[in-house]
Structure 1
Amino acid sequence: MSDAGEADVPEPPEPPDRERGSVQVLGTAHVSQASVDEVRDTIERERPDVVAVELDEGRYNQMQGGTPDDIEAEDLLSGNTVFQFLAYWMLSYVQSRLGDQFDIEPGADMRAAIEAAEEHGSGVALVDRDIQVTIQRFWSRLSFTEKLKMVGGLALGITDPRTLGLTFGAIGGLLVGFLVAAFIAPLLGVGDVLLLGITDAATLQYAGGAAIGALIGAVGGLLVIPPLESAEEYTGGLLSGFSIRVLGGIALGVVACLGLVATDTFVGPFSTASVESAGIYAVRGSAGMLAGLGVGVTIGAVVGLFLDAAGADVEEIDEIDIEEMTDGDVVAAMMEEFRQFSPSGANALIDERDAYIASHLNDLREQGYDVLAVVGAGHRAGIERHLANPAGIPSRESISGTASSRRFSPLKVLGYLVMVGFLAFFFLLIMAGVRNVFLLKVFAAWFLFNGIFAFTLARLAGARWTSAGVGGAVAWLTSINPLLAPGWFAGYVELKHRPVNVRDIQTLNEIVDDTERPVDEAMAAMFDVPLFRLIMIVALTNVGSMIATFLFPFVVLPWLAPEIGGVDALMGQLIQGAENSLELLRGLL
């Protein structure tokens, strides 16, 4: 991260002439006016040597009007930066909603503590852990399900649960239905059922031509047709410039490919066999998409109704509740609820910070200062427990480092399996004596297939040509390396031209809070925010590479296999390679 226009970091005054000071912990609600008043009254009454606040240097700098932190391009290569900002956004959004509800700025208690300390001649000490370290450790501790819940919480802020359920159900159903029907069902021996009785070669060729044309046209429309800034004005708001580019490209692509089929013009990869094969995939996929749409919408509707009912049971927080947040019983209940959601996340967000803050406060106490610590009510009990037993406080160094991700997470295990499968595939073909020309074709197809998918989805997310190009160029390698992702590289290049900083999170909160805005307008506004666009570029570039990796053995290998006798012959070569490898090992042993 980089800072500009930093405020001077406050320093405690010279230590007083006493052997040991004291610490008083004042628990506040960060969005409560009563807490603001209590902070001011307590400082005026107690006149402590030092007022310690639950802030780090970065948040203090922002509170004093400094420029928000920028994400450095190099930070993306650590792999988790964008996802940490998702967690930061979620936590910020929750606090912002409370602040809006009670008409008070989040963090007003800390600002009041700093101002009151300056008014009464007390020193100020920043005792919290760096927010980026906290968020990184918090995010790395969350399970995959917990991360989905957090992202889902943000999505629920944009639209109602029923719309969200139906939307994701429909999209998921269409995608899963297509993949199952087009690629998995044939492996199970039920692919012919999904052809719906369409077996005529000419009909399949026309279906394949339309499918190929639609796919190429959609991609070409996004890549070639220039942005249409006034599209909504000319279409009465019915179609955006993005929609016209995609639909126009599809129309041109379909007409062109159907024209080629009608005139029996088949050149290179656009052969009779490939177009007919595409038609089979298209018919099967269409049948699967219809079935998947029905199932997905049904499941989505049920999930949406469940979420809506759950939300209806939650009573609106009123002013009395927020003032009672400083009461120990209420705070304990809140902390317990968060621990049930994520015990390991609560450890990073609450317990470790309790110890970190207590360590700072104990140091100030040992230097002879009388300290008033202004902290969130949820931290008070933990801090006081540590202060009562200072010998048991963990060292700040042990809870200040960035926590590494789980070494063998399910996604990483899957990544390692893909890498082993990729290397084993080429090794066995080499051991079987397959010609180098075929191996080069397979590698070139892998490079292009991964690159095209990653590049296209990066452009779909709004990436620059150079950013999308870099993501596409490295996708072939990153798709077989679980420690790398093409989205990191695309985001790295994107950040060189598109600054992103913490202030974007507040902009996103304002968009999510505007419940009167239609979903499509809200999404368009979010894409105008650099942070959100960066997140989508990184995510969709990675998704494109993953889709290409999954489809490669089902789509590309059957297309290349006829060169060595078909899919059965290819499998035979792999078996032969395995046998030759065993013979070689026997000879060596």
Structure 2
Amino acid sequence: MSQDAAPSPQNGRVQVVGTAHVSKESVAEVEETIRAERPDVVAVELDEGRYRQMRGGTPDDIEPSDLLSGNTVFQFIAYWMLSYVQAQLGEKFDISPGADMLAAVDTAEEEGIDVALVDRDIQTTIQRFWARMSVVEKFRMAGGLAFGVSDARAVGVVVGLLAGVLVGPLVGLFGGSLGITPFVLGRVTGGVILAVAAGLALQTLAEGFTDGDDALVVGLGGGLAVGLVGGVGLGLAAPLVDRLSPFLVSAVGSLAIGIAVGVTAGGLCGLVAYRLGLGTYEDVEEFDVEDLTDADVVSVMMEEFRAFSPGGAEALIDERDAYIAHQLVALRQNGAHVVAVVGAGHRAGIESYLERPETLPPMESLVGVPQKRGIPWGKIVGVGLSVVFVGFFVLLAMAGVRNGFLLRVFAAWFLINGLFAAAGAKLAGARWLSAAVGGAVAWLTSVNPLLAPGWFTGYMELRHAPVNVADIGRLNELLADETRSIREIVSDMFDVPLFRLIMIVALTNIGSIVASLLFVAYVLPLFAADLGGVDAVTRLMLDGAANSADLLWRAVS
């Protein structure tokens, strides 16, 4: 629908056409309005990059240096999620997403009318969207992508999984006092071995009778049952476990216990919270194609985000309303008659600003990456971990521990982090040089969690395999294919540069995190035995602190 915003006597005027981005009726309305009004300018809700892509051009590649800014991969995931939902709705209603904007541009060019691209750069919008989301909202989004739900249940499972990875090493360190003996760890390790072997075998057999997805369910469910009953309960894998090193048995068993406890507890807490109505939000009401002229697809989705993530919706809806209104006010002040083609969900906000331009926020507040609100817990924890790591070596050195011992500890830290990070990168398909670079810096990024080895691995990959937003279209096509199994789809997704980059960055980081946990829980106690055990190391660190305090006191007195 279209509506004139109140013009100023000395200025031009702006006519706002609210469209549905996937509605055939909107395309016809756009064309008719432009030809009937013959404005000086047709303003469209596009930025330069999306316009170029819509015209068949190639989007800008990610610059390797951009990956070291921190959240580039996460921003691409957010953009992918938004693009996928819009593409699915476009397929449902048999119209290409963005056809209304393309019709506006084509009609304007046919009539010899200037075109103005008035939307904010999509990368800026996605960066601000990610920065505005809270940690809980990001967990929700991860749960929605992984499990198909984005309420308290998903948050509980995701948080439980992460907590379980942290709990596992604690089980290895202190499990003995809780009754988790080497015998129990051996049984659990045997259960893991049988679960993996049985799961793979059952999935292979099931593929001959069912489709790939059902076979995967059979493999997961059957493997878990065999592992619990045959491995943990009956100890059928005991002969194999006895051949493994005590270190490996302790590591696998304690991690498995930690993850099982974390996921179970998180899932139960999430389910209870969901039943109590905590952490939920109201879904947008159902709509059909006739309703789309009043609520376009993107805006319907964004209204869900407004309930789900007020900060994210602010970046995706409210800020863009203000940004577009700034552009339209400038055109109006130049005396132009403007037809502005925007999503119907943006029309009310834009028209409000056009009627009262003095209420527009400053343009500088709508661009750039905003500072995150609240206490920067991530930076605080990161700095704290760095201090603890450095302090460990300093205090032992001040206590008189031999340099050779400290060098061996550091070498073990370097090698374990490097091997796990590089292995994760190679598992995702990274080049050997990229994996080696990620492994070489993993020890440093483990000391400073504000950095990540995956950024460096991804940086090296981007020097050889460019990635841009056009890859998202290919990923959307793969995800929309309902005729193939999940395994086949995932295999093809690894052939898409963007997905491979995301997985390389993620698995490099995960490898480094797992290595750090294993080192603290299992390797460090082995070194501590050379000094008399964990209690002896603690006493040495206290002695080092006392010696450091004494040295400082002498220096200032």
Does TM, normalized by the shorter one, top 0.5? Answer: yes
2:48 is matched with 57
Q: Secondary structure at the match of 1:325?
A: coil
Alignment partner of 1:133 is 2:124: yes
Alignment partner of 1:38 is 2:47: no
Q: Secondary structure at the match of 1:38?
A: helix
Report how far residue 413 of structure 1 moved.
2.5
1:57/1:517 CA distance change after superposition, 3 Å: same
1:549/1:417 CA distance change after superposition, 3 Å: farther
2:534 corresponds to which letter in structure 1?
V
1:41 corresponds to which letter in structure 2?
E
2:390 is matched with 423
1:318 is matched with 288
Alignment partner of 1:462 is 2:429: yes
Question: Given the alignment, which residue of 334, 357, 368 partners 1:401?
Answer: 368
Alignment check: 8 A CA contact 1:194 1:288 kept: no
Q: How many residues align?
A: 514
Question: Given the alignment, which residue of 114, 124, 129 partners 2:115?
Answer: 124
1:22/1:292 CA distance change after superposition, 3 Å: closer
1:187 is matched with 174
1:248 is matched with none
Q: After superposing the two structures, state which structure 1 stretch, 443-452 or 487-496, moved more.
A: 443-452
Distance 2:299 2:79 in 1: 23
Q: For residues 192-249 of structure 1, what are the alpha-carbon distances to aligned partners after superposition, in whole Å with 9 as ceiling and x for unaligned? A: 4443479xxxxx8x999x99xx9xxx9xxxxxxxxxxxxx9xx989999xxxxxxxxx
Report how far residue 400 of structure 1 moved.
1.9
2:119 corresponds to which letter in structure 1?
D
Distance 2:120 2:165 in 1: 48
1:585 is matched with 552
Alignment partner of 1:555 is 2:555: no
Alignment check: 8 A CA contact 1:63 1:111 kept: yes
1:446 corresponds to which letter in structure 2?
W
1:8 is matched with none
- TM-score of the superposition, structure 1-length normalised? 0.76
Alignment check: 8 A CA contact 2:422 2:438 kept: yes
2:543 corresponds to which letter in structure 1?
Q
Distance 1:129 1:290 in 2: 45
Q: State the percentage of identical aligned residues.
A: 55
1:283/1:23 CA distance change after superposition, 3 Å: closer
Alignment check: 8 A CA contact 2:139 2:159 kept: no
Alignment partner of 1:147 is 2:138: yes
1:398 corresponds to which letter in structure 2?
S
Can you give the 5+ residue segments of structure 1 that lack an aligned partner in the other structure?
1-17, 199-203, 219-231, 241-257, 263-273
Question: Given the alignment, which residue of 365, 370, 375 partners 2:342?
Answer: 375
- TM-score of the superposition, structure 2-length normalised? 0.80
Can you give the 5+ residue segments of structure 2 that lack an aligned partner in the other structure?
1-8, 198-203, 217-238
1:111 is matched with 102
Distance 2:128 2:456 in 1: 23
Report how far residue 491 of structure 1 moved.
0.1
Q: CA RMSD in A?
A: 4.2
Q: For residues 524-555 of structure 1, what are the alpha-carbon distances to aligned partners after superposition, in whole Å with 9 as ceiling and x for unaligned? A: 22222110110111111112222222332211
Alignment partner of 1:344 is 2:311: yes
Alignment check: 8 A CA contact 2:294 2:344 kept: no
1:505 corresponds to which letter in structure 2?
I
Q: Secondary structure at the match of 1:125?
A: strand
1:470/1:404 CA distance change after superposition, 3 Å: farther
1:390 is matched with 357
Alignment check: 8 A CA contact 2:382 2:448 kept: yes
1:490/1:407 CA distance change after superposition, 3 Å: farther
2:358 corresponds to which letter in structure 1?
A
Report how far residue 322 of structure 1 moved.
2.2
Distance 1:152 1:383 in 2: 33
1:184 corresponds to which letter in structure 2?
V
1:193/1:417 CA distance change after superposition, 3 Å: same
1:333/1:535 CA distance change after superposition, 3 Å: closer
1:440 is matched with 407
Question: Given the alignment, which residue of 13, 21, 24 partners 2:12?
Answer: 21
1:297/1:196 CA distance change after superposition, 3 Å: farther
1:344 corresponds to which letter in structure 2?
G
Alignment check: 8 A CA contact 2:430 2:504 kept: yes
